[in-house]
A = this chain, B = another copy of it.
Amino acid sequence: MIESEVFRALADPTRRAVLERVAAREMSVGELKSHFAVSQPAISQHLAALKGAGLVAERREGRFAYYRADPKGIAPLLSWVKRYRAFWPERIEKLKDVLKGMDP
């Protein structure tokens, strides 16, 4: 299930931090690595997990690999929330308020 992959990818704090970095701007693995206290293979493995979940995209240029966040990647997460709301008749209003707070 793709939903599970997205949630699992986001469950790790390092991986979320990696995603936030490449969401700000495209970045090579090496530059990405410089921001974290883990080995280069660890970064590559996190990127592979994020890519598998559809959260990042890769651009290859010579020996460099540039990664960037893919906006469509969190769609499964948001549509799950949406479906979740469908099962939640009594409390829709409260949740609507939470969502409203997200649209400044």
Q: Chain A interface (Cβ within 8 Å of chain B)? A: 1, 3-4, 7-8, 10-13, 16, 19-21, 23-24, 69, 71-72, 74-75, 77-82, 84, 87-89, 91, 94-96, 98-103
Contact = CB atoms under 8 A, between A and B. Distances in A.
Contacts of A91: 23, 69, 71
A21 to B, nearest CB: 8
A11 B13 contact: no
B4 A7 contact: no
A14 B12 CA distance: 20
Given A81-B102, A98-B71, A103-B96, A13 B23 contact: no
Contacts of A79: 102
A16 B3 CA distance: 10
A100 to B, nearest CB: 8
Nearest to A20: B87
A64 B8 CA distance: 32
